[in-house]
Amino acid sequence: MPTIEVSKKDLFELIGKKLSLKELEEDLMLVKGELESADNNLLKIEIADTNRPDLWSAEGIAREIKTKYGKKNASYGKLKDSGIIVKVDNNLKNIRPMTVCAVIRDLKITPEVLSQMIQLQEKVCETFGSKRKETAIGVYDLHKITPPITYKAFKSNEIKFIPLEFREKMDLNQILRRHPKGKEYGSLLDGYNKYPIFIDATGEVLSMPPIINSNYTGKIDEKTKDVFIECSGFTLKYLMPALNILVAALVDRGGKLETVKVAYLNKKIVTPNLRPKKIKVDWKYIENRIGLNIGKKRIVNLLNEANYLVVKEKRNTLYLEYPAYRQDIMHAVDVGEDVTIRYGYNNIEPRSPEMITEQGIVQINWFAKEIINIMLGLGTQEILSYTLTNKETLIKKMNLKDMKVIEVDNPVSKNWFVFRTWIIPCLMEFLSKNTNKEYPQEIFEIGEVVLFDQKTETKTKNPTRLAWAKADKNAGFTEAKQALDFLMRTLGLDYSIEETHHNSFIKGRVGRVYIKTKAVAYIGEINPEILENFGIEMPVSAFELNLTDLMEVMR
């Protein structure tokens, strides 16, 4: 959860109202914020919502609070064309291929404006931008740039420039080795013999993204009036919100926003795009979802306060527009949350549920408890791991080329950003962290995996699986089959095994398990390449059984 620092005086000027600290603490609930400290003019505010990077600055906080007091936020309308073109060279295709850009003119840069701009830039890149991997932002003094601008990859010895806060020219490898930002973010460019550069028509370097700006064009101070902004990365999904958030903050400061034409090999785009986004919701659904019978008129008023615009009403449906810098609205439930926030959580009176329910455990969980008892009878140790994992563990280390996985949008950590599609990789991860313990090691886990399913509302399904693994010098197919035999005999089931192929297992020592005609499991010896990937020196045998399918077959 990001903690930001703002000037109290500056924040109140942006809100258009002077507040007491008690009033401010109450109003910060509108941004899921909490006042950590107030030291004279310096406020430290923790923002609990990691999905709202637009709130990570004084401008973003003020934008949400001021509407409570009947004050309007800036509108963007039709944007003027800056006349600036950014040409993107195709040699960046496999390095860092995308950029979106903007121009802001007539800025009055005060120390407060500068500190908020730098802070917002850093917070967005570090958190939303996954430590600059998905998004890196550069801001430059426009008067030191001669358009058109080219975004192109260069070899280290082809170009030199003075990086920010340095005094000597350096080639690109020297920057990566010697500059603090090169040391910190250089791993993002590992494996490439060319590096991305923004350069103007005179050969003046703007920056080496995602590492560092030039000390000449990339140094912003109180004398700067007009700025050029670029965001670089891999997909517009991350780049456009990042650009929109930064330019919205500067427009709130009185800056005049202009568009930039970005020319790729086969297409041209104009950025930024601040046209309002759209969603339609049923106001009765919102009432039912939040449990408040407040009526359509009150809901509309609260939506207006939350910076939504109701453009049309049809029966119970509200057609809404909301700001382009919001990237967290994906479902009507998100709109309902904004209504609840504006209504005030503290204003909701607790009441007992009217629905009479009966306590119980779903059938798959009863079945899983039975399986746990059987597996413990084998002398096997149960483990519990996270449903979230990463592609390195789930796919690459398991010797798989590709796999459809469901990813978390805007992940906080690169170690936990995809949902597991099978459990054996989690067992391998566990074994890799216990190589200094006594062998044999025999473990199992029962848990959910997350798979695509176009038939459901969420487009996913969550079957329950059992995964078993044994690490020992004698671990082999026979040991895995003996464990599976014990389980199946206890359940009173007959099964068959057919030889199959799976890159995570040794060829010729892997089978597909069938009950009648239903494939319910994989079983075999783990490929030595996978063992090496995980740093495991003992052989490992394993199986993974779909308990959801197994229960259906048993019915």
Is residue 353 situated within a structural domain? no
Confidence of residue 65 (pLDDT cuts 50, 70, 90): very high
The answer to whether residues 57 and 103 belong to one domain is: no
Helices 363-377 & 477-491 angle (0-180, nearest 10): 130
**Token output for 287:** 């009432």
Residues 159, 162, 167, 172, CA torsion sign:
negative
Residue pair 95/153 in contact by the 8 Å Cβ criterion: yes
Give the SS3 label for residue 309.
Answer: strand
- Average pLDDT over all residues of the chain: 93
Rg over CA atoms, the chain: 28
Q: What is the CATH number of the domain that holds 533?
A: 3.30.930.10
Which letter does DSSP use for residue 407 in this model? B
Residue 358 has pLDDT above 80, yes or no: no
Instruction: Examine the fold and report which residue of 220, 246, 271 is the final residue of a domain before the chain moves on.
Output: 271
CA atoms of 504 and 517, how far apart (whole Å): 24
Kindly state the average pLDDT of the residues 108-133: 93
Backbone angles phi, psi at 51, to 5 degrees: -95, 5
Residue 360 has pLDDT above 70, yes or no: no
* Number of domains comprising the chain: 4
pLDDT for res 9: 95
pLDDT for res 245: 96
The answer to whether residues 285 and 262 belong to one domain is: no
Residue 354 has pLDDT above 80, yes or no: no
Tokens 């995308």 sit on residue:
98
**Token output for 91:** 């040699």
Confidence of residue 205 (pLDDT cuts 50, 70, 90): very high
The answer to whether residues 13 and 85 belong to one domain is: no
**pLDDT tens across 8-33, in order?**
999 999 999 999 999 999 999 999 99
The answer to whether residues 57 and 97 belong to one domain is: no
Kindly state the average pLDDT of the residues 428-454: 94
**pLDDT tens across 462-491, in order?**
999 999 999 999 999 999 999 999 999 999
Kindly state the average pLDDT of the residues 342-349: 90
DSSP lists the bridge partners of residue 248 as none
Q: What is the CATH number of the domain that holds 296?
A: 3.30.56.10
The answer to whether residues 297 and 261 belong to one domain is: no
3-state secondary structure labels for all residues of 477-528: HHHHHHHHHHHHHHHCCCCEEEECCCCCEEEEEEEEEEECCEEEEEEEEECH
Task: Please report how many Cα atoms fall inside a 13 Å half-sphere around the Cα of residue 514, on the Cβ side.
Answer: 8
The answer to whether residues 132 and 261 belong to one domain is: yes
- Asked which of 170-174, 288-292, 417-421, 498-502 is least confident by mean pLDDT, the reply is 288-292
CA atoms of 445 and 467, how far apart (whole Å): 5
The answer to whether residues 295 and 261 belong to one domain is: no
Is residue 517 situated within a structural domain? yes
Is residue 355 situated within a structural domain? no
Is residue 354 situated within a structural domain? no
Which letter does DSSP use for residue 324 in this model? T
Is residue 230 situated within a structural domain? yes
DSSP lists the bridge partners of residue 139 as 229
CA atoms of 6 and 46, how far apart (whole Å): 11
Instruction: Examine the fold and report which residue of 69, 95, 117 is the final residue of a domain before the chain moves on.
Output: 69
Is residue 358 situated within a structural domain? no
Residue 410 has pLDDT above 80, yes or no: no
Is residue 350 situated within a structural domain? no
CA atoms of 411 and 73, how far apart (whole Å): 29
| Containing structural domain, residue 314 | 277-344
CA atoms of 542 and 470, how far apart (whole Å): 6
Residue pair 476/541 in contact by the 8 Å Cβ criterion: yes
Q: What is the CATH number of the domain that holds 173?
A: 3.50.40.10
**pLDDT tens across 501-519, in order?**
999 999 999 999 999 889 9
pLDDT for res 456: 85
pLDDT for res 1: 73
Quick one: which of 252, 337, 259, 263 has its CA closest to 303?
337
- CB within 8 Å of 387: residues ≥ 6 apart: 419, 420, 447, 448, 449, 450
The set of long-range contacts for 43-48, using a CB threshold of 8 Å and a minimum separation of 24, is: 43/5, 43/6, 43/7, 43/8, 43/11, 44/3, 44/4, 44/5, 45/3, 45/4, 45/5, 45/6, 46/1, 46/2, 46/3, 47/1, 47/2, 47/3, 47/4, 48/1
Residue 302 has pLDDT above 80, yes or no: yes
Note the helical H segments in 399-444: 424-432
The answer to whether residues 308 and 211 belong to one domain is: no
Give percent of the chain with pLDDT exceeding 90: 84
The answer to whether residues 209 and 108 belong to one domain is: yes
**pLDDT tens across 315-327, in order?**
899 999 999 999 8
CA atoms of 548 and 465, how far apart (whole Å): 7
Residue pair 496/484 in contact by the 8 Å Cβ criterion: no
CA atoms of 352 and 343, how far apart (whole Å): 20
* Distances from the Cα of 356 to the Cα of 172, 353, 359, 390, angstroms: 68, 8, 10, 41
pLDDT for res 554: 84
CA atoms of 223 and 246, how far apart (whole Å): 20
Instruction: Examine the fold and report which residue of 251, 271, 291 is the final residue of a domain before the chain moves on.
Output: 271
The answer to whether residues 199 and 158 belong to one domain is: yes
CA atoms of 18 and 434, how far apart (whole Å): 58
DSSP string over 141-205: EGGG--SSEEEEEEEGGG-EE-BTT--S-EEHHHHHHHSHHHHHHGGGGTT-SEEEEEE-TTS-E
pLDDT for res 357: 67
The answer to whether residues 51 and 87 belong to one domain is: no
The answer to whether residues 451 and 310 belong to one domain is: no
Other residues' Cβ atoms within 10 Å of the Cβ of residue 447: 19
Is residue 46 situated within a structural domain? yes
Q: Residue 383, Cα to own-chain centre: how many angstroms?
A: 28
CA atoms of 425 and 421, how far apart (whole Å): 10
